[in-house]
Amino acid sequence: MLAGCATRERDSRSPVSTSQPTPPPDVTTFTETKPLPEPSDVSSRAVAQSFVETYEQRYVYNELVGGFGSSGVAAKITVEPARVAVVHTTDSGYYVLSSCRGSARYFDPDGSPSSATRNASSVAHFVSDELHRRIPFNAYRCERPVVQTATANNSDEPLARLQIYDFETKPDYEDFEQGGRTVDVTVRNADEEVILEQAYQTSLPLTVQPAVTETPGSYTLAASLTDGPTVQYEWDLSTPGTPSWWALCLVITAGGTLAIKLWYPNEEVGVPSNGVCRH
């Protein structure tokens, strides 16, 4: 099942062309997009953060210039400073989470200007000297819930959930059923009972497994790529309502290895706690 706000990311450098009314000369308009930066000499966490800040602000700006294909020409655009946090560092580069919000007002010859907002939240990045991968949290494969009780389906509280990010495979939103890596995942409870055993295909760069369990306690997660070593993680779910319930991430790095991380440095940029894989 594919879920999220969109199934395809539109290139923010190529806004949709629409028929728009021409504003009078005294109305300031914004019609040109800004070039998105390319990584170069990413030698520190600070450089990686700065790159992502600039990238996301321009990305959101360009989205608002484009108007999402339904608005007139932009007469005012405001983009807030991007919030970023480095969540994982390797010898080859940096993994960064970001959120950036912007708004725009569009010219209307009838005197009733329309407006739009763009909230690029919980976006995951890999940045190195030569590579930038961007994985938004608005197009993902939603797997079938493990727990399917009435309580789980109607709960406003986040059940235990995990995410699988693939930074190695270049995404193809035109054909999202092909490609990617196979990740074998097994989760056991404290009594060594298997509560989840599944192979996931990362043909989309983000896969979400909702409702792994609704029972607090200690769990062991083991994951591996095909022909790769097994990585284990002690998954502490003893305290409901804490980030471990929703922010656990299995990360296929840009170099093709597997890591397990809790990606919730703060509420502003961390993996969202709810509203994911609603059925």
Reported as a single tens digit per residue, the pLDDT across 174-225 is 766 778 899 999 999 999 999 999 999 998 999 999 999 999 999 999 999 9
What pLDDT does residue 176 have? Answer: 67
Q: Which two tokens stand for residue 98?
A: 């970001």
Rounded mean pLDDT of 236-244?
96
* Residue 278 falls inside a structural domain: no
The answer for 269, left when phi > 0, alpha when psi is -120 to 50, beta otherwise, is: alpha
Q: Mark whether 8 and 129 lie in a shared domain.
A: yes
Mean pLDDT of the chain: 87
Rounded mean pLDDT of 50-54?
98
* Nearest partner of 259 among 170, 126, 134, judged by Cα: 126
What pLDDT does residue 5 have? Answer: 40
Residue 200 Cα to chain centre, angstroms: 18
Return the residue matching tokens 């998954």: 235
Rounded mean pLDDT of 53-67?
94
When pLDDT is cut at 50, 70 and 90, the band that residue 170 belongs to is: confident
* Residue 128 falls inside a structural domain: yes
What pLDDT does residue 213 have? Answer: 96
Residue 49 sits at φ, ψ, to 5 deg, of -60, -45
Q: Mark whether 112 and 153 lie in a shared domain.
A: no
Q: Mark whether 25 and 77 lie in a shared domain.
A: yes
Q: How many beta carbons lie within 10 A of that of residue 221, not counting itself?
A: 19
Q: Can you give the pTM of this predicted structure? A: 0.87
* Residue 75 falls inside a structural domain: yes
**Range of the structural domain that residue 167 is part of:** 140-262
Of the given ranges (108-112, 113-117, 201-205, 240-244), which has the lowest mean pLDDT?
A: 108-112
What pLDDT does residue 248 have? Answer: 98
* Nearest partner of 104 among 80, 79, 81, 82, judged by Cα: 79
Q: Which two tokens stand for residue 125?
A: 């990045």
Looking at 95, 112, 135, the residue that finishes a domain is 135
Return the residue matching tokens 């295909």: 201
What's the pLDDT tens digit per position in 88-100?
999 999 999 999 9
* Residue 42 falls inside a structural domain: yes
Rounded mean pLDDT of 81-110?
93
Asked if 126 and 254 count as a contact pair (C-beta separation under 8 A), the reply is yes
Q: Mark whether 116 and 170 lie in a shared domain.
A: no
- 6 has pLDDT over 80: no
Q: Buried b vs exposed e over 105-133: b needs ≥16 C-beta within 10 Å? A: bbbeeeeeeeebebebbbbbbbbbeeebb
